[in-house]
Amino acid sequence: MKIWVDADSCPVVIKDILFKAAIRTNTELTLVANQNISHPQSPLIKMMQVSSGFDVADDEIVRLVGAGDIVITSDIPLAAEVVDKGAIALSSRGELHTPDNIRARLNMRDFLDTMRASGEHTGGPPPLNQADRQSFANHLDRILSKAK
């Protein structure tokens, strides 16, 4: 099992949780982004810089992810693709995307995207709070514990 991080949009506090978890559980973690992301020096933690462009990092994650891997992303279309490949998708807010719920979340995302395109102001997500961080850390620990 490997951890893949859609790192361009991943909050720093979530990356810090991931770094500690990867080292604690001896799990390989790869940050994928179109810019260099600072990270601790560890043979378990790698940075993969991809070229700039729409969905370039997402496409690379989909290409490389394997069944049973974990992908950290808040991008619902990316989550849907990796779930279809048998990977586990977890958002930075601790929302676990599964084959049972990903289609409904993708439909809602598409609906809200259509609303925004028509001029409706739907607002963005609220700032990441302590409960979100705790939910993320708890889900990550459960996934890593089950895998090990």
- What pLDDT digit, counting tens, does each position of 24-34 carry? 999 999 999 99
The residues, any chain, with a CB within 8 Å of residue 5's CB and separated by 6 or more, are 15, 18, 29, 30, 31, 32, 71, 72, 73
The domain ranges of the chain are 2-147
The model's pLDDT over 89-134, given as tens digits with 9 standing for 90+, comes to 999 999 999 888 777 667 666 666 776 677 766 666 778 899 999 9
Q: Please report the pLDDT score of residue 124 as a whole number.
A: 64
Confidence of residue 71 (pLDDT cuts 50, 70, 90): very high
Q: Please report the pLDDT score of residue 54 as a whole number.
A: 84
Alpha-carbon distances, residue 138 vs 35, 44, 125, 131 (angstroms): 29, 21, 21, 10
The residues, any chain, with a CB within 8 Å of residue 140's CB and separated by 6 or more, are 17, 18, 21, 70, 90
Domain 2-147: which CATH class? Answer: alpha beta
Q: Please report the pLDDT score of residue 112 as a whole number.
A: 61
